[in-house]
């Protein structure tokens, strides 16, 4: 499975870097991920960006004076990250760049990092032994360490597909494994989906996974939450700066509410390592 994920992102190439700026809705997603973590970023702290992709978040952390280690399964994504780091001139805040599977962080010492970030849903591609990844995150964090994650959100994805009126989806539920996704969260790989098989999480499921594997004080969020399923409206309204800022403010007020987190396309999570 890990080979499929690596091959997919090797072929995906620069599109991973562009993904978070390709439209107003995607920019909203990026801003919410950053809002979720921003106040915890401190100059000089050591961060492992696990599943860093092309390094978009890594560079943001480095710009804030954090010392960042990049880790990803795709060698092509890491090559792009190196180029983008050079362009951003943040090399002095990059501690290293490593390739591997998030279930095996044996390249790193116990309690090496102040924070682990796993944004962009790397854990959703882990269909077996995903608790190993959480345990590895726990192991490499120091005693006061923080974990930040985002995964694909089951109900938010379905809400997005409904709102964006994807053709040939709801009228073909057997082909798209809708019943299987609803019951298990698992979407097998098949011909019309160019990505590897994935798992879509519910909020309670992700919360329990973190608590059962060494984290507490878990806080969840949905991203985008209020806007999910309204791509066209966000694009049209977002052309007006005041309207965009109003939508973003509503997102910020709602995205961490327990009644709303399952509505986001992505499910965010923050947890402290058990002391």
Domain count, the chain: 1
Q: Please say whether the beta carbons of 69 and 49 come within 8 A.
A: yes
Closest C-alpha to 53, from 76, 25, 27:
76
In total, the chain counts a number of residues equal to 275
Q: What is the CATH number of the domain that holds 213?
A: 3.40.50.150
pLDDT tens over the chain, length 275 residues: 678 999 989 988 898 888 888 899 999 999 999 999 999 999 999 999 999 999 999 999 999 999 999 999 999 999 999 999 999 999 999 999 999 999 999 999 999 999 999 999 999 999 999 999 999 999 999 998 999 999 999 999 999 899 877 778 899 899 889 999 999 999 998 777 778 999 999 999 999 999 999 999 999 999 999 999 998 999 999 999 999 999 999 999 999 999 999 999 999 999 999 87
Q: Please say whether the beta carbons of 166 and 139 come within 8 A.
A: no
List, in sequence order, the alpha helices (H) in 126-219. 130-140, 154-163, 178-184, 203-212
Q: Strand pairing of 198-199 and 215-223?
A: unpaired
Task: Look at the pTM and tell me if it is higher than 0.85.
Answer: yes
Domain housing 120:
2-273
Predicted local confidence at residue 27, as pLDDT: 93
């Amino acid at each position: 499975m890990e080979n499929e994920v690596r091959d997919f992102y090797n072929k995906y190439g620069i599109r991973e870097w562009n993904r978070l700026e390709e439209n107003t809705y995607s920019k909203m997603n990026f801003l919410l991920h950053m809002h979720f973590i921003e106040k915890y970023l401190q100059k000089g702290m050591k961060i492992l960006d696990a599943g860093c992709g092309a390094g978009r978040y890594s560079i943001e952390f480095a710009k804030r004076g954090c010392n960042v280690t990049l880790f990803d399964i795709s060698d092509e994504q890491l090559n792009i990250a190196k180029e983008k780091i050079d362009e951003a001139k943040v090399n002095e805040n990059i501690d290293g760049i490593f390739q591997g599977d998030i279930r095996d962080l044996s390249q790193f010492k116990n309690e090496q990092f102040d924070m682990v970030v796993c944004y962009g849903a790397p854990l959703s591609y882990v269909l077996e032994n995903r608790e190993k990844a959480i345990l590895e995150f726990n192991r490499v964090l120091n005693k006061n360490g923080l974990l930040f994650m985002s995964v694909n959100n089951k109900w938010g994805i379905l809400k997005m597909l409904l709102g964006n009126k994807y053709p040939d989806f709801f009228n073909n539920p057997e082909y798209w494994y809708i019943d299987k996704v609803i019951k298990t969260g698992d979407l097998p790989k098949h011909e019309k989906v160019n990505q590897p098989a994935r798992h879509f999480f519910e909020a309670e499921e992700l919360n329990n996974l973190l608590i059962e594997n060494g984290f507490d004080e878990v806080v969840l969020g949905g991203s985008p939450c209020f806007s999910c399923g309204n791509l066209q409206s966000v694009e049209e309204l977002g052309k007006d700066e005041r309207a965009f800022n109003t939508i973003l403010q509503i997102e910020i007020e709602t995205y961490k509410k327990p009644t709303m987190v399952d509505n986001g396309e992505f499910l965010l999570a923050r947890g402290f390592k058990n002391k």
